[in-house]
Amino acid sequence: MNKYSVVLVGIGLVGSEILKIMKQRDFPAKDIKILARRKRTEVIDGVEYPVESASMEGFDDVDIALFAGTEGAKGASRQYGWEAVKKGAVVVDNGDDFRMDPRVPLVVPEVNPDALKEHQGLVANPNCSTIQMVMAMAPLHRIARIKRVVVSTYQAVSGTGSSAVRELENQVLDVPQGKSPVIDNYPYQIFSNLIPQISSLKDEYPGYYGEEIKMIKETHKIFNDPKIGVTATCVRVPVINAHSETLNIQFEKEITVEEARAALEESPGVKVLDDPASSVYPMPLEASGLDEVFVGRIRQDSTAPNSLNLWVVSDNIRKGAALNAVQIAEKLIEMGLIGK
């Protein structure tokens, strides 16, 4: 098997997880170089990794460059991404800078791997909440075509980054003792609260925050179908890790619960946990640290024709970011698209 020279840009929650996943999956890397804002040593899973200061020279003789910025992180891929492509690397970018760029495929390997054939050196990882949604939608779309989806998300603080995780952990300790909580990452205290705002308002969709718009536009691009109606409400919740979503999906033709369950059970990367009578359904506490997208509470919507409700949970740092990026790189290798 060929081995590839890899550079990883960013060593926060997502970058650290990428390293763990590459090791777990025996990724064919002959060497891995880590670039970040400053030179240092990081210990991950008991292994010391030297970290170099990011520079263009760091992309010399690199086959694959993985940009691991968490959602909302700006700068690295915009500064270095296309320059790395010019040096011969294939870039997989976890950030949102180029997701809507027509030159850039937006890929979930289980859903639209053929989009990789059109890559011009840079491939984008979709938003974490979009990834788990389309993983649940795709098997159903193939058999009954989706007309419209209404999604509400319940997003963990890890999606904001390690500082938000620490903020919630500190508030859990401080607030019950009557201390004033330190609030840095969100407009309000997140402990014992829900915040229906992720990102900022955008003019193109009045009243919608950025995360909601990402889910709309990215779904259209991934399915290559702008006619699918998508509307989203995204909520930050006081959960450390793993996002949850409710999906209300309307199809062009009738699809039964049994047909939907069978299609989901056969879909790679999806695991059905759906026995509500026994209180069996996905939960973030159990999904955290796992690779699958978990689906449960599959039921008919009696208020609309050809409609189903689903409950979808996935680890947003793994499948929603790090794992999907590694899978993209693996699929590029499998399809013989590295170096082209």
Q: Are 147 and 251 in contact (CB under 8 A)?
A: yes
The per-type count for the chain, helices as H runs and strands as E runs, is 8, 13
Tokens of residue 296, six digits? 């449960």
**Residue 21, Cα to own-chain centre: how many angstroms?**
15
119 part of the active site: no
Identify the active-site residue in 119, 141, 234, 243.
243
Residues ≥6 apart with Cβ < 8 Å to 335: 113, 116, 117
The CA dihedral of 102, 103, 108, 113, to the nearest 10 degrees, is 120
Helix (H, G, I), strand (E, B) or coil at 76: helix
Q: How many residues does the chain have?
A: 340
Task: Identify the structural domains of the chain with CATH numbers, from first to last.
Answer: 4-125+321-334 (3.40.50.720), 130-316 (3.30.360.10)
128 part of the active site: yes
Helix (H, G, I), strand (E, B) or coil at 64: strand
Q: Are 113 and 138 in contact (CB under 8 A)?
A: no
Identify the active-site residue in 128, 141, 220, 234.
128
Other C-beta atoms within 10 Å of 216: how many? 20
What whole-number distance in Å separates Cα of residue 87 and Cα of residue 98? Answer: 19
pLDDT by residue, tens only, the chain of 340 residues? 799 999 999 999 999 999 999 999 999 999 999 999 899 999 998 899 999 999 999 999 999 999 997 543 456 899 999 999 999 999 999 999 999 999 999 999 999 999 999 999 999 999 999 999 999 999 999 999 999 999 999 999 999 999 999 999 999 999 999 999 999 999 999 999 999 999 999 999 999 999 999 999 999 999 999 999 999 999 999 999 999 999 999 999 999 999 999 999 999 999 999 999 999 999 999 999 999 999 999 999 999 999 999 999 999 999 999 999 999 999 999 999 986 4
First to last CA, the chain: 18
